Amino acid sequence: MNRAERDMSAKVSDFSAFQSGVALENQVRERTQQLEAALRENERVNQALQSEKEEQRILIAKLEEAHDQLHQSEKLASIGQLAAGVAHEINNPIGFVNSNLGTLKNYVNQLMNLIEAMSTTVAPLLAGNPEIGKELDTLKRQADLDFLREDIGALIADSIDGTTRVRRIVQDLRDFSRTGEVGMEWVDLHAGLESTLNVVANEIKYKAEVVRDYGTLPQVECRPSQINQVFMNLLVNAAQAIPQKGRITLKSGCADDKVWVSVSDTGSGIPPEILARIFDPFFTTKPVGKGTGLGLSVSYGIIEKHGGKIDVASQPGQGTTFTVWLPARQPGVSPG
């Protein structure tokens, strides 16, 4: 092979090597592009998975919240049924006692009138027999008849007042639980407030004076036992927020087609950093075992389902006001 042929062969070999290099480079570039595309797709899938995972977490949290609220509602419904049953069992015997006390009062009055009449009638006869008169006077003093005449009337009156109060509490308890209700009813919110106040009276009476400043409200269409439950939560929270003796003020009014009821206390107030979280399920500032953190959350859910809302305003060290807003009537329903 001469020199020219060797040069040509070298050039062909170099060109072939160049072509192979270009082809390899193209393959590398194509593979790199495929890998980059695969990485981008993998990143997109990962992001989608992360997004789906977050959505699932939120959904699970909402389901748990709904389950907890349902469980709490079921517990409260069971308590309401128990309270209604107990109230029914108490109502009958206390009715008999109240009725019998009224009859006893009449009997005692008749006996006292008879004793008075006998004393007046017998007095002239005893004038001729002073020994019997002295003996009767001694018996009267020993029995303390004058005191008995006054005290027995007071005791019966106190007993009638006590049984009347028990009957009123029983009726308030039945009104509060209203376990037989199946739907919305037209109710007097003020009556519901008063019933609830009687139910929680023991929680409040040592902590606060209750001041009423009611406006004029129309009948409101709602589920009474649920609204009473909201009132109970707000009243108990107000009492617990007062460290020593304070005041709870109840107000009400109307605005357009809505009614409102506010519960204000002179307690310690709520710090701003906590205020935004008070309606969150299980959030509580109470010591362990003193609260579930569901009271305000359940109340918020009840009012929301009624098409209303709960506002809260608070100043640390000055107190808190919760205002419940409700539509006077539910959509599509007119008062009967």
pLDDT at residue number 175 = 64
Angle 66-72-76 from CA coordinates, rounded to 5°: 140
Question: Which residues, other chains included, contact 257 with Cβ-Cβ below 8 Å and sequence gap of 6+?
Answer: 327, 328, 329
pLDDT at residue number 290 = 43
Question: Which residues, other chains included, contact 149 with Cβ-Cβ below 8 Å and sequence gap of 6+?
Answer: 112
Question: Which residues, other chains included, contact 322 with Cβ-Cβ below 8 Å and sequence gap of 6+?
Answer: 234, 237, 238, 262, 263, 264, 310, 311, 312
Whole-angstrom distance, CA of residue 93 vs CA of residue 83: 16
Angle 78-83-87 from CA coordinates, rounded to 5°: 150
What digits encode the pLDDT tens for the residues 87-112? 666 777 777 788 888 888 888 888 88
Total-model pTM: 0.52
Which residues are 253's β-sheet partners?
Answer: 260
What digits encode the pLDDT tens for the residues 32-79? 777 777 777 777 777 777 777 787 777 667 666 666 655 555 565 566
Q: Spell out the CATH class of 184-336.
A: alpha beta
Profile the chain (336 residues) by mean pLDDT over runs of 10 residues. Answer: 60 61 71 75 75 75 64 59 66 79 86 80 72 77 78 84 77 61 81 88 88 94 88 90 91 93 92 80 50 67 90 90 92 54
pLDDT at residue number 193 = 93
pLDDT at residue number 336 = 42
Could you state, in order of their start, the residue ranges of all structural domains in the chain?
Answer: 184-336
